Amino acid sequence: MVSRPLRAWLDRALSLSAGLCAAIAAALFVAIAAILLRRGLPALDANFLFTESTSAGAAGGVRYQLLGTLILMATALLLVAPPAVALALLQTVYLPAAAGRKLRIALLTANGVPSVLFGIFGLLLFSRWLGWGKSWLAGGAVLAMMMLPTACVALIDRIESLPGRYLEAAAGLGLSRAQIVRAVVLPQSVSGLASGLLLGLARAAGETAPILFTAAVFSGATWPSGIRENPVLALPYHIFVLAQDSLDPASQDRLWASAFVLLALVLLVSLAALPVRLKLHQEARDG
């Protein structure tokens, strides 16, 4: 038996260490944001988002880098949603339990695959085999592949947390399995899908390696006019090149400012997922 004072002390110690860990995580984010903002401030103004970069990134803004990143994100989002729903339904509804467990393990494993491998796979499949070359669609497809496990697992978790009584009541009325999926499972899992998609997107938005080989160039691209050999500019790649190549102080300012814009973009996407995640947590608490 643990005495009451010791129990209270252990409880306080545990609370304190949990608070400390949370504070470290929050401080890390605040520190990164503060450094980016302080260093990028000389370049950050109202025009930075809306003007084209010039002089190899030493002047101008990130108009097409931001646009290219948004194109890649939107493409990835559109491409990943249907297979994420299909795989989640396959795992939870259609596959026998043992096969479903194997699929889940495969998805979790895919979640841990380094992004550069997705990039190389995309290079071989989309750019070479399908002949798209460097293309916004190839980049979006690679990012979609990267997002798939996150979106899928989030949706599976949501479907599995649906109260069994809904399924039983719908089946009891004579609805077929397909009707139950359409009328009960999918409508009540939308929040899980949205949450998974946005979290996956937040991660994919900042990735450089997958688009390095498949979609992004440093300059010259504007609005894509087709699929084949239609690359885009992208913030992560822009930052990557500026960080590697430029010793010019003006470029350095723009490097930090671009990084701040990317961080803000990722933060916005993560915040967009927050309401649905809070709703899921609330539902989990309410049973």
- Region from 4-12, 95-103, 247-255, 262-270 binding other proteins, contact rule CB under 8 A: 95-103
Task: Choose among 234, 239, 240: nearest CA to 69.
Answer: 234
Q: In angstroms, give the least distance from the CB of 149 to other proteins.
A: 21
Report the residue number, 65 or 191, with the smaller CB distance to other proteins: 191
Report the residue number, 14 or 105, with the smaller CB distance to other proteins: 105
Report the residue number, 100 or 224, with the smaller CB distance to other proteins: 100
Whether the Cβ atoms of residue 215 and residue 154 lie closer than 8 Å to each other: no
Whether the Cβ atoms of residue 48 and residue 116 lie closer than 8 Å to each other: no
SS3 (DSSP) at 46: coil
Tokens in use for 40? 């990028």
| 166 touching other proteins, by CB under 8 A | yes
Q: Which of residues 100-119 bind other proteins (CB under 8 A)?
A: 100
> How far is it, in rounded angstroms, from Cα 83 to Cα 110?
14
| 26 touching other proteins, by CB under 8 A | no
Tokens in use for 63? 């108009």
> How far is it, in rounded angstroms, from Cα 152 to Cα 74?
18
| 174 touching other proteins, by CB under 8 A | yes
Q: In angstroms, give the least distance from the CB of 92 to other proteins.
A: 7
Q: Which of 95, 116, 120, 227 binds other proteins (CB under 8 A)?
A: 95
> How far is it, in rounded angstroms, from Cα 76 to Cα 84?
12
| 224 touching other proteins, by CB under 8 A | no
> How far is it, in rounded angstroms, from Cα 95 to Cα 97?
6
Q: Which of 94, 106, 228, 229 binds other proteins (CB under 8 A)?
A: 94
Query: Which runs of E-coded beta strand occur in the chain?
Result: 53-54, 59-60
Interface size with other proteins, residues (CB under 8 A): 29
| 180 touching other proteins, by CB under 8 A | yes
Q: In angstroms, give the least distance from the CB of 194 to other proteins.
A: 16
Tell me 203's DSSP state: H
> How far is it, in rounded angstroms, from Cα 28 to Cα 35?
11
Q: Which of 103, 116, 167, 250 binds other proteins (CB under 8 A)?
A: 167
Q: In angstroms, give the least distance from the CB of 166 to other proteins.
A: 6
| 270 touching other proteins, by CB under 8 A | no
Burial of 143 (0-12, 13-18, 19+ CB in 10 A): buried
| 172 touching other proteins, by CB under 8 A | yes
Binding site for other proteins (CB under 8 A): 92-97, 100, 164-177, 179-181, 183-185, 187-188
